Amino acid sequence: MDVIELKSEFAVRVNGLKYSYPDGTPALRGIDLVVRRGESVAIMGPNGAGKSTLTMHLNGILAGEGRVEVMGVEVNKKNLKQVRSIVGLVFQDPDDQLFSPTVREDIAFGPLNMRMPVEDIEKAVKRALEWVGMEGSEERSPHHMSFGEKKRVSLATVLSMDPDILVLDEPAANMDPRGRREFIELLSCLKVTRLVVTHDLDMARQLCPRTIVMEKGRVVADGATSNLLSDRDFLYRSGLA
């Protein structure tokens, strides 16, 4: 695969994106959006709005009609390996990402698939664990960890790839108040472009200056988080309150 030089000022560009489920139900109905490098953007909306479906197009898990670019690279089968080194997707349930006997193996999985040299893989594992505050956990079983620890390790599996764009699906769901607070603080320190799918209004306010609201597969609002989330009538109409 030819490596494409990343020159775009935009982290994400989506033009006319449409997608239907296998039964023919439309999930995305012509999405257009742009996210600049370094932005932190919340993606909000009621269940079934298409939020997760949209994010799964950013690293090629799903492929619909239209054009999707990340860091100037078109998301398609030819570029899939490079795209997945650019976009790190953290699922809502950490058990969807943790499948190896040890933390080290889970975090090393991505770099191994990218065929990094062995010494670089070890450095990537150590660096990722330091970023999430889980130093020294390499030999632990992720399956015997607390939910909060699993969330941190699942994030580390993505950070080990050193992505330019971090996409998080309901990152604080099912966490206790302390774990939620600590996880938000951790995310706020990561110097990458962030797209955060969430129903958590407070998280959106704390992490994301900009919010995109979706409904029935369309973008219905895109603006300053402080403005959108202070409009009670809008929140009610959009199914967010």
What is the overall mean pLDDT for the chain?
92
For residue 2, pLDDT over 60 is answered with: no
Is 214 part of any domain?
Answer: yes
pLDDT at 7: 56
Strand order from edge to edge, sheet including 218-224: 87-90, 165-169, 193-197, 40-44, 210-215, 218-224
Give the residue among 187, 159, 193, 208 at the shortest CA–CA distance from 35.
193
pLDDT for residue 113 is more than 90: no
**88 Ramachandran zone, left/alpha/beta (phi>0; psi -120 to 50):** beta
Q: How far apart are CA 200 and CA 229, in angstroms?
A: 11
Structural domain contains residue 1: no
How far, CA to CA in Å, does 201 sit from each of 19, 163, 232? 27, 26, 12
Lowest mean pLDDT segment, chosen from 8-12, 75-79, 193-197, 204-208: 8-12
DSSP alpha helix (H) spans, 8-88 = 51-55, 80-86
Instruction: Give the tens place of pLDDT for each residue, 120-178.
Output: 999 999 999 999 999 999 999 999 999 999 999 999 999 999 999 999 999 988 888 88
Nearest to 19 by CA among 42, 49, 40: 49
In a domain, 3, yes or no: no
Question: Per the domain annotation, does 111 fall within a domain?
Answer: yes
pLDDT more than 90, % of the chain: 83
Please give the pLDDT value at position 3. Answer: 43
pLDDT value for 174? 84
pLDDT exceeds 90 at position 114? no
| Residue 5 clears pLDDT 90, i.e. is over it | no
Please report, in angstroms and rounded to a whole number, the separation of the first and last CA atoms in the chain: 47
In a domain, 2, yes or no: no
Is residue 1 predicted with pLDDT exceeding 60? Answer: no
> Above 50 in pLDDT, residue 180?
yes
Residue 135 one-letter amino acid: E
> Taking a C-beta distance cutoff of 8 angstroms, is the pair 155, 182 a contact?
no
Distance CA 90, CA 92 (A): 7
Note whether 31 and 55 are within 8 A (CB): no
Residue 106 within any structural domain of the chain: yes
Q: Is residue 198 part of a domain?
A: yes
Q: Global pTM?
A: 0.89
Q: How many domains does the chain have?
A: 1
Instruction: Find where tokens 């398609």 sit.
Output: 76
Q: Is residue 64 part of a domain?
A: yes
| CATH number of the domain within which 19 lies | 3.40.50.300
What would the pLDDT profile of 29-50 be if each residue is shown by its tens digit? 999 999 999 999 999 999 999 9
- pLDDT for 4 beyond 80: no
- Its domain, for residue 138, covers 10-237
